[in-house]
Amino acid sequence: MTPGQQPQISAGRDAARRVTQAVAGLPHGQAAVVRLSYLHGLSHLQIAASAGVSLAEVRALAAEALHTIGLLLRDQDPRELSLPTA
């Protein structure tokens, strides 16, 4: 790691922390869909089947979650939210 990479790594960690906090603040169903989809790689169809709900409900929860996360993070500097590149 070069000295110039340290600020990028710190910014990436801060961004990840803010996104994690935003997800933690979501209603349970929305947070579950985000975690299952983005962290565990499940498709919306897989989430619907495992949760016993309709695909439309999972899609609605995902859309609401992303909208809410966007609102929570909209005042952030976009450069702070981008992950560092290798």
* 51-86 tens-digit pLDDT: 999 999 999 999 999 999 999 888 765 555 454 444
Task: Indicate the pLDDT class of residue 7, thresholds 50, 70 and 90.
Answer: low
pLDDT at 15: 80
The ranges assigned to domains in the chain are 15-73
Taking the complete model, does pTM exceed 0.75, yes or no? no
Backbone torsion region of residue 41, taken as left when φ is above 0, otherwise alpha when ψ lies between -120 and 50, otherwise beta: left
CB atoms within 10 A of CB 26: 20
Rounded CA-CA distance 15/48 in Å is 29
Question: What CATH number is given for 15-73 in this structure?
Answer: 1.10.10.10
In the chain, % of residues over pLDDT 90: 56
